[in-house]
Amino acid sequence: MRAIAYHSTRRFSMTARRIRAGVLVGLIMASFYSAWALLMHFLAPGSNSNHTTIGIGAVIAAYFGAGIVGGAVIGSLSPLARSWTGMVVLGMTTGIVFFFFIETATSGPFWTWQANAWKEVTVLGLGLGTVGALVIKLQRRR
């Protein structure tokens, strides 16, 4: 019985480490995106109409929300990245999470979205998530 408890505890700690690492990477990416948004906000005010209508704070909150949740998804599902199919599923899932947060920042709560907003999240998340996952998988092969 002790061996089973040790094995399950060890597996849990590996998953927790992967999730922590994923969240850390997500926070780093969110920091870069936020720094870029702030830089553009101050150097070229009004150049991005979304930032002026919803506010720079909502944009930064969306980046950090997407970084935390997307990082946790990547960390928890990272064993899928061993195969091409798993990597595509991981990329699509993370892409949908990212665009969900961006759409929430620009369109408000998801229960108020029109069909077009759902289409944007789905198409952009699946499409760009797949492309991003395949690029990362190809880079890892080298």
- Please check whether residue 28 lies inside any domain of the structure: yes
Are 129 and 92 in contact by the 8 Å Cβ rule? The answer is: yes
Residue 117 lies in a domain: yes
pLDDT for 133 equals: 86
pLDDT confidence of residue 46? 66
pLDDT at 52 over 60: no
Report yes or no: 54 and 47 within 8 Å, Cβ to Cβ. Answer: no
Please report whether residue 12 resides in a domain.
no
Burial of 8 (0-12, 13-18, 19+ CB in 10 A): exposed
7 is a domain residue: no
Residue 2 belongs to a domain: no
Is residue 14, in this structure, part of any structural domain at all?
no
Look at the chain and report how many structural domains it folds into: 1
Residue 96 predicted with pLDDT over 90 = yes
Give the closest residue to 122 by CA, choosing from 96, 104, 97, 103: 96
Q: Kindly state whether residue 5 falls inside one of the protein's structural domains.
A: no
Handedness of CA 62, 102, 31, 51 (dihedral sign): negative
Residue 98 belongs to what domain range?
19-141
